[in-house]
Amino acid sequence: MGLLALGTALDWPDAKKQAHLVRAWGIKQLLEIWSKAKGKERDAMLWGDEVEYLVVTYSKDDPRVLLSLRQADILTALANDKSLSGKGGCVPELQDAPNSRPNEPLVVFHPEFGRFMLEATPGRPWGIDFRELLDVEPNMKLRRCIAKDHMLPNEHPITLTTFPRIGSPGVFTDPYYPVSGPRLRSQFVPDEIANPHIRFPTLAANIRSRRGRKVQVNVPVFRDENTPWPWKDPTVNYDLHQWPEDEDVRTGGAAPDNFIHMDAMAFGMGSCCLQITFQAKNITEGRRMYDQLSPLGPILLALTAATPVYKGFLADTDVRWNQISKAVDDRTAEEMGEKPLKDSRWRIPKSRYASNSTYISTDPRLRPEYLDPDLVTDPAIKQQLIDGGMDDLLATHFAHLFIRDPIVIFNEDLQELDLNKTDHFENIQSTNWQHMRFKPPPADNSIGWRVEFRPMEIQITDFENAAFTVFMVLMTRAILSFDLNFYIPIVKVDDNMERAHARDAVLEGEFWFRKNPFPVRVPPTPGPVEDEYRLMSVNEIINGTAYAKRSSSAAAAAAAATTADGQQQQKTEGEEDVDMDDDYDDDDDDDDDANDFPGLIPLVESYLDSVNIDVTTRCQLATYLDLIRRRASGELWTAAKWIRHFVATHPKYERDSVVSEEVTKDLVGAIIKIGECEQKGKGFNGLVGDAEVPAVERVLGGLGGGVRDEHLREIGTGSRY
């Protein structure tokens, strides 16, 4: 998240009075950029990823692993290092890597909400060349290496979504700050947990203040053999009298039985994710990408599941999404439907952090039935946009985002409206944290319309992060190249988002998905929408129904085996012939055939078959696709499953859902070891059988070792990574 200018941030009562002005100016700025950029053509197919890190302190002889709150110092050290080529082993020669330009950094670091977090992106966006896809992983490794190089010896950047013991009793930050402060008023975390830039504490305080109570982040606890039941969160003080809001726990039922109770923004916005932004050639293509990527969101959320622990307890869910959603939910009781509407303008069904609720494409295949019949929009704003020349669908999209209030307003920005800026528009836009974001060009119109894919959980290794990034890039190209159609009603995408939370949803879950993704002729009288989609497993969606049938038995066998030889099941079995000319076929009475789904990986393979791509590159891309394929089939584990396994098999775990300091230390230690092993470029085979890093082969399956060695030799930097 980019930082707004410094200034005087208004507290909520004052901000509330200016909300209308900010929205009005924001809409004017939007119309300005829209009229400037709506005809923009032929923007390059650029894209870029974002990786977020937790910074932890860890050393072998320290019994505790802690969150390091030195974000500002680390960012300063990074900013002062002009070369950003790093010292001590981060290979200055990398300046010659294909993504580099003279005097341009290869990587860029950004602040994040948590004072223990960092974000890093490539120095400039990636381009259309397939070989650049092979630079992503080395670039991610370089980011990690450079970040580490600007930290203290006992500090480590790790890509874990959530610190397992954030908010646990005792010490979990370095330095230690007592709980609690006036901004967050949390029982569990100090105000100092947030980035001290005024924007962030104000964001947290004003969300709480607008809402009229603290945020309530309740996650079902995982019930193990020895977990007392019903379970009362033992870390909650049910009789606290420090802040007025404490009453919510005392008498308001804020901390119900069988839930891990959390009460501050840091529990959500302190999570790390993997995001990708794609630039479209024009607004029409951008709108199409936005719609078509949307139904993939929950599937990729389930596939990247990595968040099974909160505040020192095993949770009964596998992903971070809903927790962030609750952690920034600023809705009033009236907006939530708990009280009749009096001061609030409308009931709002979702948090401002939620799955997206609109489709925006001009694609004739977008049937009105796919839209949310209960979508809340601001009618005056919609009219203003339409009067400004915007079409109904796009006006609806923005009029929906603009039902929200701006949360952080700087007094200095309210002097006069500047149409050469987009600050007021971005104020609302950037605090609508949906799983897709449609990004208009900036005020200077220097870059194009972009679409951001935001649901994925960060993965422990850069190999995995690169694999999911590459997969999504190829998927996007396949969508555009084959004109694929993944439309289902948007409310089914919402439903899928919930489904993605279940423990092991990737294997056990079923998700609504469109049966036929091909660009069929729309029949004169289209059938009922309900006939267009059905429930499928992630395996069916990713690998196709034919593969899923065959692989389910293979996966069962692999799961039963005590040691999995990662190499034993190389693909070939996944290579289906995809019939791209599958016409609308309404006299098809063959049930099996009607339920055939080609699979996203086979679609990507077909796309790769259709383009010119050298053999070396193709082979290396295949390694990434293999990870996705085998994760979807269950042959390889999600990080969530691996973490659960790590905890469950730890000698100190007492089967009571408690993830103790000792277990956490060993878990983070194992993750650091995996990272170091990966940095050395030898892959993970060295960790197989390592008692301290159990079952790493179940996650990576022998992949990720020497993946791109040949490519690196080709570009002359091989051994240096």
**Binding residues for ligand ADP (CB under 6 A):** 1-2, 46-50, 110, 121-122, 125, 275, 277, 279, 447, 450, 452
- 447 interacts with, out of ligand ADP, Mg ion, none, CB within 5 to 8 A per kind: ligand ADP
CB of 26 or CB of 683, closer to ligand ADP: 26
Q: Which of ligand ADP, Mg ion, none interacts with 38 (beta carbon under 5 to 8 A by kind)?
A: none
Structure tokens at 532: 């267009």
User: Which residue carries 């796009």 as its tokens?
Assistant: 394
Least distance to ligand ADP, CB of residue 47, Å: 5
Single out the segment in contact with Mg ion by CB under 5 A; choices: 13-21, 50-58, 73-81, 371-379. 50-58
Query: CA 618, CA 605: separation in Å to the nearest integer?
Result: 10
Label residue 527 exposed, middle or buried (CB < 10 Å: 0-12, 13-18, 19+).
Answer: exposed
The one of ligand ADP, Mg ion, none whose footprint includes residue 139, by CB under 5 to 8 A per kind, is: none
- By C-beta, is 43 or 330 nearer to ligand ADP? 43
* Buried/exposed 71-89: b ≥16 CB within 10 Å, e otherwise: beebbeebeeeeebbbeee
Does 50 participate in binding Mg ion (rule CB under 5 A)?
yes
Site for Mg ion in 101-130 (CB under 5 A): 119
Question: Could you tell me the smallest distance in angstroms from the CB atom of residue 51 to ligand ADP?
Answer: 9
Rounded distance between C-alpha atoms, residue 339 and residue 347, angstroms = 10
Query: Residue 593 binds which one of ligand ADP, Mg ion, none, with CB within 5 to 8 A depending on kind?
Result: Mg ion
Residues 184-213 that bind Mg ion (CB under 5 A): none
Report d(CA 186, CA 478) in Å as an integer.
Answer: 46
Instruction: Decide whether 376 or 447 has the Cβ nearer to ligand ADP.
Output: 447
Nearer to Mg ion, 416 or 586 (CB): 586
Query: At 126, phi and psi to the nearest 5?
Result: -80, 160
| Residue 588 touches Mg ion, criterion: CB under 5 A | yes
3-state secondary structure 451-502: EEECCCECCCCHHHHHHHHHHHHHHHHHHHHHCCCCCCCHHHHHHHHHHCCE
From the list ligand ADP, Mg ion, none, which binds 24 (C-beta under 5 to 8 Å, kind-based)? none
Residue 369 makes contact with Mg ion by CB under 5 A? no
- Asked if 275 interacts with Mg ion (CB under 5 A), we say yes
CB hemisphere CA count around 112 (13 angstroms): 25
Question: How many whole angstroms separate alpha carbon 526 and alpha carbon 532?
Answer: 10
Does position 585 interact with Mg ion (CB under 5 A)? The reply is yes
Selection from ligand ADP, Mg ion, none that 392 binds (CB < 5 to 8 A by kind) is none
The residue behind tokens 């051994």 is 719
Rounded to a whole number of angstroms, the minimum distance from the CB of residue 248 to ligand ADP is: 32
73: helix, strand or coil: helix
Choice between 126 and 607, CB closer to ligand ADP = 126
DSSP string, 412-451: GGGSS--TT--HHHHHHHTT-EESEEEEPPPTT--S--EE
Nearest-angstrom CA–CA distance, 306 and 631: 13
Nearer to ligand ADP, 211 or 437 (CB): 437
**Minimum CB–partner distance for residue 285 and ligand ADP (Å):** 13
Query: What's the distance, CA 691 to chain centroid?
Result: 31
577 binds Mg ion (CB under 5 A): no
Between CA 261 and CA 215 the distance in angstroms is 10
Residue 151: which of 57, 66, 62 has the closest Cα?
57
Question: Which of these segments, 223-231, 278-286, 588-596, 665-673, binds Mg ion (CB under 5 A)?
Answer: 588-596
Q: How far is the CB of 163 from Mg ion (least distance, A)?
A: 16
| Maximum distance among all Cα pairs of the chain, rounded to whole angstroms | 72
Neighbour-count burial of 531, counting CB atoms closer than 10 A to its CB (0-12 exposed, 13-18 middle, 19+ buried) = exposed
* Closest CB to Mg ion among residues 276, 500: 276
User: Is 436:397 a contact under the CB 8 Å cutoff?
Assistant: no
With respect to ligand ADP, which residue has the nearer C-beta, 105 or 705?
105
Query: Closest-CB residue for ligand ADP?
Result: 48
Residue 588, contacted partner among Mg ion, ligand ADP, none, CB below 5-8 A by kind: Mg ion
Contact 440, 451 (CB under 8 A): no
Alpha-carbon gap, residue 330 to 303, rounded angstroms: 29
- Kindly tell me which of 113 and 684 has the beta carbon lying closer to ligand ADP: 113
69 or 632: whose CB is closer to Mg ion?
69
Instruction: Report the length, in residues, of the chain.
Output: 721
Of 466-495, binders to Mg ion (CB under 5 A) are none
Structure tokens, 152: 């203290």
Which SS3 state, helix, strand or coil, does residue 594 take? helix
Distance of closest approach, residue 103 Cβ to Mg ion, in angstroms? 22
Out of 62, 129, 593, 614, the residue judged to bind Mg ion by CB under 5 A:
593
585 contact, one of Mg ion, ligand ADP, none, CB 5-8 Å limit per kind: Mg ion
| Three-class SS state of 56 | strand
Could you list the residues that contact Mg ion (CB under 5 A)? 50, 119, 275, 585, 588, 593
